[in-house]
Amino acid sequence: MRHRFYPIIDLDFSGQSPAVETARALGTAGCSMIEVRAKTATGAQYFAFARKVMVAAGPGCRVVVNDRLDVALASGAAGVHLGEHDIPVAEARKLAGAGFIVGATSRDPETAVRAAGDGADYIGAGAVFPTSHKHDTRLIGLEGLAAVARAVDIPVFAIAGITAANCARVVETGAWGVSGIGCVAGADDPAGAWLAIERVMSTAAGQKR
């Protein structure tokens, strides 16, 4: 993974036009990976949204589709991020093949180890901090994040409640990076917000070595 912070662009949170403009700004700023999320969209709507984000972000930014492997493959996205209720990681890897990014959400070491063994490229672990964007989600906290990071040899990203003020604490757990929605999409300057968190993470990682 090139960067330690990959933002999530949520169609329901931002609306299509602002979301696409956020993707454009992030791509211009040098962001190397974006996840797109559209929980309430139809397959056709999700496909169109993913394509627009990919075009806006540009060829230097990989786009990963949340939940929907079919949308990821059809749109030509770089990968998919699978939750606990989505198709199994092993099946996604079989269908997509090598070179296609497969991420998986985990809340504990056991599911993280299973996902890594089934071919996941990275783990999104959480929720680490309280957030208004994920309902009915139990917190695993920094201790839970550390347990996941110790259990696998692939990059682990903390999800939920990420800010520039708390993200450095993630590095102390052994996790590779962070991911979030509101910290970028809710900012007046999304690209600036991404850069701020990325710099904090990179600095903290350098100091940890």
User: 45-94, pLDDT tens digit by residue?
Assistant: 999 999 999 999 999 999 999 999 999 999 999 999 999 999 999 999 99
**Cα torsion 62, 9, 22, 158: sign:** negative
Backbone angles phi, psi at 104, to 5 degrees: -140, 140
Tokens 């993630």 correspond to what residue?
170
Mean pLDDT on 30-53: 98
Cα–Cα distance between 75 and 130 in angstroms, integer?
A: 32
134: pLDDT confidence band, cut at 50, 70 and 90? low
Q: Any idea what the CATH number is for the domain that residue 143 is in?
A: 3.20.20.70
Diameter of the chain measured on Cα atoms: 46
- Considering the entire predicted model, what is its pTM? 0.95
What length does the chain have?
Answer: 209
* Model confidence pLDDT, tens digit, residues 139-171: 999 999 999 999 999 999 999 999 999 999 999
* Parent domain of 199: 5-208
Q: Domain tally for the chain?
A: 1
172-192 b/e with 16+ CB inside 10 Å = b? ebebbbbbbbbbbbebeebbe
